[in-house]
C-alpha cells in the first residue's frame, strides 16, 4: 500500500480530491516503477485538484505534473534500479497518474536522469516552472537576444515561471522589467533581480496595434491582451516567448509588429518537449543556479497539505514555487 492524492468524479461530474491508500497493482502501465521523493504544486495541478479547469481527462487521476525519485524497478535498458530520475509533463497528472503519490509507474521515454549537481529537492524547487523559464531564456539566446540588446520584460512575474525567469535573466546579465498585479511584492521581485517594476494593468487592457518600442525580448506567462501589448511594444527584430495563459488563451493582436518591426513570437511548450531539449535545459539550470536560488522562491509542504494549498494557489495567496515532500 502507498499514499496518493486521488481525484475522482461522480455521476454529476463533480470532482473530489482526497488523500487515500492505494495498491501497487492499481498503478497504470509503464516500464519503470519509481519511488517518488518529491513533487510540486503547479498552477495546472491547482486547476486539476480544485476542479477549476478541465485539466484531468481521465478519472480517477493522481495529479502532479512533476516528480523526482529513485527507480524501484525497471524493464527499460535506459534506467536501472537505484537511478535517480526526473519527469516534467508528458500528460502526467492529466491522462496518466502523476507525482503526488509515494509511487509512480511511468514510461521510460518520459524520464531523464537527475542532473549532476542538483539534489532531488532542488530539482522540484525548479520543477516545470523553472524548466519552462529556462526554455524561454534559451529561445531568446538562440534568436540572438543578448544583455546588450536592451530590456527584457517578464509578465506574470510573481508566478513560478516569472520568478525563475527573473533570476535566470539577471544571472546572465540582462536588465529585467517585471510586470505584476501584486506591487506589494516589489521588494521580493527586486531581490530576484528585477531592475524595474510595472503594474500589469498597463499591459492587460486593449491597446494600440503598434506602440512605443520598449523591449528587446519578452517572456510572457499571461497571454491575451498582455501578450498582444507586449508584442506591440517590442523593439525592431525583438523576440517574444509565450509560455502561459493566466489572463486568457486569446491573442487579440495585429500583424503590424511582425511585418513592420520584424519581431518573432515563439511558443514555449514544456509538456511534449523532446528529450534532448529537456537535458539541455536542465544542464543549463544546474550550471546557472546557485544553492540560494533554490530556496528564495520556494516553500515546502507535505502530501496532506496539498488540497488546501491548491485552493490558496487558485486564490492568488501563494508566491513562487511549492515543493511537496512525498
Residue 298, H or E segment: strand 298-302
Residues 67-99: tens digit of each pLDDT: 999 999 999 999 999 999 999 999 999 999 999
CATH number, domain 129-267, options 3.40.50.720, 2.30.40.10, 3.40.50.1580, 3.40.50.9100: 3.40.50.720
CA 214 to chain centre: 26
Residues 161-196: tens digit of each pLDDT: 999 999 999 999 999 999 998 888 889 899 999 999
CATH topology of domain 2-114+291-325: Quinone Oxidoreductase; Chain A, domain 1 (3.90.180)
- Is the distance from CB of 103 to CB of 287 less than 8 angstroms? no
CA angle 141, 147, 160 (to 5 degrees): 65
Residues 227-271: tens digit of each pLDDT: 999 999 999 999 999 999 989 999 999 999 999 999 999 999 999
Which residues make Cβ contacts (< 8 Å) with residue 96, sequence separation at least 6? 28, 30, 58, 90, 106, 107
Ramachandran angles phi, psi of 58, nearest 5°: -155, 130
Task: Provide the whole-model pTM.
Answer: 0.91
User: Is the model's pLDDT at 320 over the cut of 80?
Assistant: no
Q: What is the mean pLDDT of residues 25-30?
A: 97
- Is the distance from CB of 223 to CB of 249 less than 8 angstroms? yes
Where in the chain are the domains?
2-114+291-325, 129-267
Nearest to 17 by CA among 289, 306, 251: 306
Strand, coil or helix: 231: helix
Which conformational region is residue 224 in: left (phi greater than 0), alpha (psi within -120 to 50 degrees), or beta?
Answer: left
Pairing relationship of beta strands 234-242 and 264-267 according to DSSP bridges: parallel
Locus of grid cell 494600440: 208
Residues 261-318: tens digit of each pLDDT: 999 999 999 999 999 999 999 999 999 999 888 877 788 999 999 999 999 998 878 8
Which conformational region is residue 117 in: left (phi greater than 0), alpha (psi within -120 to 50 degrees), or beta?
Answer: left
Nearest to 38 by CA among 306, 318, 296, 273: 306
Quote the CA–CA distance of 186 and 179 in Å, as a whole number.
10
Amino acid at each position: 500500500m502507498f499514499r496518493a492524492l486521488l481525484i475522482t468524479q461522480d455521476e454529476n461530474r463533480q470532482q473530489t480530491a482526497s488523500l487515500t491508500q492505494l495498491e501497487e497493482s492499481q498503478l497504470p502501465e509503464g516500464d519503470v516503477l519509481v519511488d517518488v521523493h518529491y513533487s510540486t504544486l503547479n498552477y495546472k495541478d491547482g486547476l486539476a485538484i480544485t476542479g477549476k479547469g478541465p485539466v484531468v481527462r481521465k478519472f480517477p487521476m493522481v495529479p502532479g505534473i512533476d516528480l523526482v525519485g529513485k527507480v524501484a524497478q525497471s524493464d527499460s535498458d535506459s534506467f536501472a534500479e537505484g537511478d535517480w530520475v526526473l519527469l516534467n509533463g508528458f500528460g502526467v497528472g492529466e491522462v496518466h497518474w502523476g507525482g503526488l503519490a509515494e509511487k509512480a509507474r511511468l514510461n521510460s521515454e518520459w524520464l531523464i536522469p537527475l542532473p549532476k549537481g542538483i539534489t532531488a529537492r532542488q530539482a522540484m524547487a525548479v520543477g516545470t516552472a523553472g524548466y519552462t523559464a529556462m526554455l524561454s531564456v534559451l529561445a531568446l539566446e538562440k534568436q540572438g537576444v543578448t544583455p546588450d540588446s536592451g530590456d527584457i520584460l517578464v509578465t506574470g512575474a510573481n508566478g513560478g515561471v516569472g520568478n525563475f525567469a527573473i533570476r535566470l535573466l539577471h544571472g546572465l546579465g540582462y536588465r529585467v522589467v517585471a510586470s505584476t498585479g501584486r506591487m506589494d511584492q516589489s521588494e521580493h521581485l527586486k531581490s530576484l533581480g528585477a531592475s524595474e517594476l510595472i503594474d500589469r494593468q498597463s499591459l492587460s487592457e486593449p491597446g494600440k496595434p503598434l506602440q512605443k518600442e520598449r523591449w528587446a525580448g519578452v517572456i510572457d506567462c499571461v497571454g491575451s491582451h498582455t501578450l498582444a501589448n507586449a508584442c506591440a511594444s517590442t523593439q525592431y527584430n525583438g523576440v517574444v516567448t509565450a509560455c502561459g495563459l493566466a489572463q486568457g488563451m486569446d491573442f487579440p493582436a495585429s500583424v503590424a509588429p511582425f511585418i513592420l518591426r520584424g519581431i518573432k513570437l515563439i511558443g514555449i511548450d514544456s509538456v511534449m518537449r523532446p528529450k534532448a531539449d529537456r537535458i539541455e535545459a536542465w544542464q543549463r539550470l544546474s550550471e546557472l543556479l546557485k544553492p540560494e536560488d533554490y530556496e528564495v522562491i520556494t516553500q515546502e509542504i507535505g502530501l496532506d497539505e496539498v488540497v488546501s494549498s491548491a485552493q490558496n494557489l487558485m486564490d492568488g495567496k501563494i508566491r513562487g514555487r511549492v515543493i511537496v515532500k512525498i
